[in-house]
Structure 1
Amino acid sequence: MSRIGVALMGAALLVYLVVAVWLAVMFLAVGTPVSIGMGVALIVLAPLGAWALIREMQFGFAADRLGRTLDAEGGMPPVETELTPSGRIARADADPLVARYLAAADAEPADWRARYRLGVVQDAAGRRKDARASIREAIRLSRV
């Protein structure tokens, strides 16, 4: 299912780039200072948006690959606490659990599996920014 979503996003990106370039050419052809400025902005911003989307897709693919590998090895963190209806760790349980997984990841700084588990627990605790950083580090470590 997620592969279909990625394919749709890729197709939408291509359509967006074609339309943005076409509009940029049209704006530049008008020749007024405002239209030239808009054309240049489209030429700069469209590839920048495409780059950001491609980077996010690369992150998603790499994180999914590591998650599937860790799950196949039986190394995903078990559910140790009661979860909220949204699937998050209860606030009272989040801090000690994250601290424990952080200590485990710090004890094995070159182990991508420990860093990925930390990211999973941080995500379940609602700490998205920290989770993304941990999973990004796990991706980097897995390539070494």
Structure 2
Amino acid sequence: MSDLEIRHTQREDIPAIVAMLADDPLGEQRESPDDLTPYEAAFDRLDQDPNQHLVVAVRADRVVGTLQLTVIPGLSRKGATRSVIEAVRVHADERGSGLGTQLMEWAIEESRRLGCQLVQLTSDASREDAHRFYTRLGFTASHVGFKMAL
């Protein structure tokens, strides 16, 4: 997979990212690929925040994967900095190719490079395949998560 580039997201990558976000049973219910306006506004906020690292995986000039890495300084754990991995998506044509592993390895290594002592993520309870994938990478199911829609 030497032809793969993981790079900072550019505005023109937004349609491909949103299409991947919408390409599963959960995403098709909550994403709106026909109206990119809210995604463009979100991209502008992310792009201006130095603690946000939105990246894409590109092969042959085509966006085939994405994830967001957020760095959070904190007081707990003796002032540890942690990172949170969000919105990991791999294009349907690339699933099973090892691309997800490469994206996650990039995120873990980037977290180390940025001085993080802990990397964490959440995954919807229904995504059992993703849970097995994260466990295989060395993550442990250590917490119960909660959400509140506002």
TM range (shorter): under 0.3
Structure with the larger strand share: 2
Structure with the larger helix share: 1
TM-score normalised to the size of structure 2?
0.24
Higher relative contact order, structure no. (Cα contacts within 8 Å, ≥ 6 residues apart): 2
Q: Which has the larger radius of gyration?
A: 1
